[in-house]
Amino acid sequence: MAPEVAISWQVGPNFGWGLFGLQIAVQLKMSGRATPVLLSDILNYTGDPLERGMLEEVWAKNRGAIQAMRTRSKPGGRVNLKIPVLEALGNNAARQFVHPDFHYRGSQTHGLVFLENPAISIKALETYASFDTLTAGSTWARDVLRERGVQYTEMCLQGVDTALFHPAPRRGYLKDRFVIFSGGKLEIRKGQDIVIEAVRRFRERHPETLLVCLWDNPILGGFFVNLLNQSPYHPGMMKCVGDAGINWERMFDEAGLPADAVRALPLTVNWNLPQIMREADVALFPNRCEGGTNLIAMQAMACGVPCVLSANSGHLDIIEDGACLPLRRQNPVVIKHPELSTQGWGESDIEEILEALEIVYRDRKKARAIGAAGADLMAGYSWKTQIDHLASLIGL
């Protein structure tokens, strides 16, 4: 009988941690290496009904026991389990997406870490030390922890659903435009201000350029969102973010991009992303920092879209000669905040971005070759492969 292992955070297809947890649960169940136990409620699920059915099977098996456990414990309190527990950890070892809010400890407790802020407090270091194992989502994040004394940290990259994300014919809805795709929640480290400035300048040369972006962010009060007011290009972006959401039309208009130059798409479930990505001529990711590998960049590469990637932090794990267009000119990132270190971050050079976009625009044969090489690279990072690796690291 396969051993049980608990996943403490919410799973779902619409956000990074949720997708990671979902794939851990699904892949462990399908491989038979372990029986997943979901400790947090499943978030609203509007994706693949077959995937939903598998998650419901996992949740239904333990729903009664989990709910009974909750009634015996006070939210915020510690709950001890007799099986291993996986915990999602962000910056400063903050637990992610646990609902209801309990502090779970297992027969062994394994921390999975994605961090962007190298400024780690003494308390956070003590928290990291309380875990039986720590696995970071990128080589850079692993090295940050090791440099701060957390020597036992290992590394496992995220995966790609290669059944969804792979090269396939375009539908041709945007065939008369040069389409630049950009994805990632709106915040300073994702570099949307850089994308806007680069597209604005590139469009001056090539007016048929269209930016297709997926930048919605359901947590607009987040730490990195507010730092957009320190953008070196468009510091006024935060004026377009309010309680009612993001005023995209105003944001792009004030940045010099007219309405017909941009399509800002709403939050989109994972299984609909490939059809959008494949319509693009190029994908642009001048991100200032990635604690993991940047899953949406991996997915775009897997679809065969030539990708322009900033050569810093977690991106370095997916940059390979000929498989993308790396942005090597990385300057220090200057952001003033007493609780933030930008050591290891990178500020991409706009001129280098324009050069990369010009390569794709002028040499479509070379662009296709780059896209194909990127897809081949990502084919080796299926979720099955990566979760098998993670399972080995934590002794399953």
Residue by residue, pLDDT tens for the chain (396 residues) are 788 999 999 998 888 999 999 999 999 999 999 999 999 877 776 667 888 888 888 877 777 777 777 777 777 788 899 999 999 999 999 999 998 888 999 999 999 999 999 999 999 999 999 999 999 999 999 999 999 999 899 999 999 999 999 999 999 999 999 999 999 999 999 999 999 999 999 999 999 999 999 999 888 878 899 999 999 999 999 899 887 789 999 999 999 999 999 999 998 888 899 999 999 999 999 999 999 999 999 999 999 999 999 999 999 999 999 999 999 999 999 999 999 999 999 999 999 999 999 999 999 999 999 999 999 999 999 999 999 999 999 998
| Backbone φ, ψ for residue 357 (5° rounding) | -65, -35
Which DSSP helix (H) or strand (E) runs through 317? none
- Amino acid identity of residue 268, one-letter, is T
| Residue 10 to residue 66: CA distance in whole angstroms | 14
DSSP 3-state of 135? strand
Flag whether the pTM goes above 0.85: yes
CB 29 within 8 A of CB 383: no
- Going by C-beta distance under 8 Å and a sequence separation of 6 or more, which residues neighbour residue 282? 179, 180, 181, 305, 306, 307, 308, 356, 357, 360, 367
